[in-house]
Structure 1
Amino acid sequence: MLWHAIAPVRRYTKASHDVVRHPRLCSDAKILLLYVQGLPDDETHLALSEHGLKLGIKGRAFQRAKEQLVVNGFVHERRAAGERGLWATHQLVSNVPLTDADALAVWRGAGVGAGDSPSVQFPTVGEPSPRSVGHQLPVDEELGKNSSRPPTEAPSEDEGEVEGAGVAVEVVELSPQEVEAERVLLSLRNFDRQLRLGVREARELVGLAVEWLRRGVSAGELRRVLSSGLPAKGVRSAVGFLRHRLEMKMPEAPAPEPEPVPETESASVSSDLPDAPPTPPTPPRVAPLVTCAGPGNEHVFRAYGGATLCPDCQQAAAWARWAERRAADLGVDLAEDAAQAVEAGRDPDGWRSRLAAAAAGATAEAGGEQ
């Protein structure tokens, strides 16, 4: 290979070899990360998806690249209340892998989520205006027969609907987890049109989706479970199919921690005190990012159950152990080590062909002796 390069003197971005040669990042993820790293300050307010559109990375390709960046610690997202009490999603992109604690420290240093509440702003609701009189009929007034306007009625306190323009719209306040679960359900239409849900249909499944999030499943993993492996004959009912999948594939709930046994004296003292406020719900558990102990470039992954190797390194080690046992059973001495044997097994003249030839020779010798 003939290599020729001229080092640029301006308009360039320094790229780490750990990013360019990262084994768990696709080309779209690397290009998107390097593109964002070289952005000027006046374009950092745009979302990551808008930068992906400028590069031609959109749809499923962008979702795959973003998911790889999130899993490997290069992209972190956080929802926080902004101005006027509105929720906003903040994105943090770094050229090195960051843990959740490191990302939280960066957000705190930047003051993300520390905006003023609506009551702090001045003026809060605008300037006062004089009260208008005579523009609305009283509730108990009876109109004549020729009037075209019906009498006004006092709204009921038990009603949870707002009537306007002849349409009843249900007003429902959702928690942050329910908002995230609803967004995941409504985004399934971007992966397959068979999974298109309406707002009312998604509200029926929000309870099951929230339970997944409470049991430690991330929004990206929940989206992947619901949108992958669709039936070959198609999905007749998106609501029924997703409800069945949410119920049947729901992960196991984490074991509750044992409650301490209160002492007699403390119980007698606490009985005289007023009722304590309810304990807030425990946030969902997310596995931390740890460094893989396997060979190759240094990379991180989310460890579940105390694992020290990423899934790719675990699979490579399993193939190597199987090759060693198989070679020992057939009496074949492989020249390559375990890692090279796995790579050589993919070649037509690799260790798989040698093991097959040795097994055929052993069978022929057994037939000749008989």
Structure 2
Amino acid sequence: MFLHAIPPVRAFTKVSNALLAHPRLGADAKVLIAYIQSVQGHTPLTWHKPLSAYAAELGMKPGRFRAAKKELVENGFVHDLPDRNAKGQRITRQWVSNVPLSEDAVHRLDELSKQGASPSAPEPAAGEPGDSPVGGVTETKTTTKTKTNPTLPPSEPVGAGTAPADAAPEPEESEPDPAPEKPDEPDEPEYDVLQLAAAERVLRELKTARNDLYLGARDAHALAPHAALWLARGESLSTLWRELTVSLPNRLVENAHGFVRDRLLRKAPPVPELGARPQPQPQPVEPAPRPRPLVDCGAPGCGKVFRPVGGETYCGPCRIEHPEFARVCEAMSERPWAPLPHAGPAV
């Protein structure tokens, strides 16, 4: 497949890759969320149309809409909150988000909207089209974060390279001393396949701590090597889980992949020195116990050969057939006899 894509410069909508690659959302649910984001000139405080109205604008049939809404509700993208209006009538306040939200987070956003505070980003939104006349020039105001360099001294004018005769000669530059040699850094320990799989499993379970820490299969697989280094450096799975879930911000995490990656790199344990690394101790191999030799049954007229467990001299059938003789021989034996499996210890 060949791909020819031209990035738009105006009138576009930002849709996260996590939403497009969500494994539990169908195509209708993803298109519906993207279409709602593309609606221009609205804020969350003025969206009065229900979700079904936007689905109707897309030409989505009722059956397909119900299936898409069910997927969005189950995965935390759509929340229906029952409420009452000023007349006391029952209404439903519907919240739609492009990231999974918990019930507590939606209730906090709903309280903010009732107080008149908009939880959305300030206007203008990215990609919003502007009114520009045909053939005219559109004046836009952009705010970018740039790194400023310190002011450089003004350049010398042409002809100023010749120094005056009475100027003092510049001292000769001496060669800098060679930099001291750095000590050898300890080698990075390598993780094995089991540690990689365990680390990926921890990353996939972060959604149980908070819904906004959900990582898809692709994100968890990409971050697993960074988490596996924690285990290779001697940290446990519980420590890895605690460092990733402790002191979470009060606001919603918009980019779970970047948030988890920053914590894995920033809080990574130091590389242990070679002498401090735990060396695996060889486990002593115990020899297999040798089987006891076969003995002849001491019951009169038997002549069978069996392998005793304890100090018994009667085979199992003879102990059942001649219990009195077996008890006498057991009392005279130096080692205790093993009880019969079905009869229990002798009384």
TM bin (shorter chain): 0.3 to 0.5
Higher helix fraction (1 or 2): 1
TM-score (norm: length of structure 2): 0.33
TM-score (norm: length of structure 1): 0.31
- Structure of higher CA gyration radius: 2
